[in-house]
Amino acid sequence: MTSQYQDPGQSSWGGGGESGPAMRMALPAVTPMVKRLMLINGVAWVAFFAAFMVDKSVFVVHLLGLSPQVWEANFPLVPVWQVLSYAFLHTVDPTHLLMNMLLLFFFGTMLETMLGSNRFLTLYLGAALCGALFHLMGEWMLGGSAPAIGASGAVLGVLVAAAVLRPDATVFLFFFPVRLKWLATGIVAIDAIRLLIGLKSGQSDMVAHFVHLGGALYGFLAARQGWVRWDPIGRWRQRRDAGRDNRRQVDQERLDGLLEKIHSQGLGSLSGKEKEFLKRVSRKG
């Protein structure tokens, strides 16, 4: 979970599946974007672990983690990259990473299968961003400064979105079948209760509950309001490809004109710029 060095008490999963005449406990095939995210998180953990072994200071946490203290000290020149980079940084305790990646494997694979890779990534990053904003605002209101790290806000956004889209899908919790809607509701409720207990007692359990609840809220709204259809990555690629096609067409028309000129007037009739254009086109070809 996204942490101030601890995970909330979420359970490990026996498997994932869907409701139907025959419930299966077979592991799903990991989807492309989930695989990439798991790889990035794994590599980042190894790098952080190595850095921690060399220097046990919290420099990396304050650089890449979501640090309200750093934001306050550097305002308005705040480290904006932290609103996403924190979600790829986990504690040196491997269970922190493994729990998040296990949840991402099951529910991310389910959601990416429904939405496609681009839309899934948009939702994942949106949940991470929303969780970051909740943490910054929550810590500011409470006068706290604890940094947050971990993918839990993004992962809970994925879980809640999947639960909204497929509420009656069945997953296995310690080999017992549970409807996804009740699983997501229970996890979010536990997070909210633990946050309230901490606020009342004035003692932190070292878990970034604001991040979790912010990510969960984004996942809920994204699925309920249809934001999951957003595909800014796909639209950017379409515009990029359209621009490339347009440039190719313009180059082809110019090339045809120059070839006609060479045919009628000879190569010597070309200007220096026209010859340079031919060289550039020939290198591309």
Point out the residues that are catalytic. 152, 209
> What is the distance between the alpha carbons of residues 45 and 49, in angstroms, rounded to a whole number?
6
> What is the distance between the alpha carbons of residues 19 and 271, in angstroms, rounded to a whole number?
71
Structure tokens at 122: 């948009």
Candidates 280, 285, 259; CA nearest to 270 is 259
Give the number of C-alpha atoms closer than 13 A to the C-alpha of residue 105, restricted to the C-beta side: 20
For residue 216, give every residue at least 6 positions away whose Cβ sits within 8 Å of its Cβ, in sequence order, or none: 127, 153, 156, 157, 159, 160, 184, 188, 191
Is the distance from CB of 135 to CB of 164 less than 8 angstroms? no
Structure tokens at 273: 């710029």
> What is the distance between the alpha carbons of residues 203 and 201, in angstroms, rounded to a whole number?
5
Give the number of C-alpha atoms closer than 13 A to the C-alpha of residue 41, restricted to the C-beta side: 31
Ramachandran class of 99: left when φ > 0, alpha when ψ lies in -120 to 50, beta otherwise: alpha
Is the distance from CB of 149 to CB of 89 less than 8 angstroms? yes
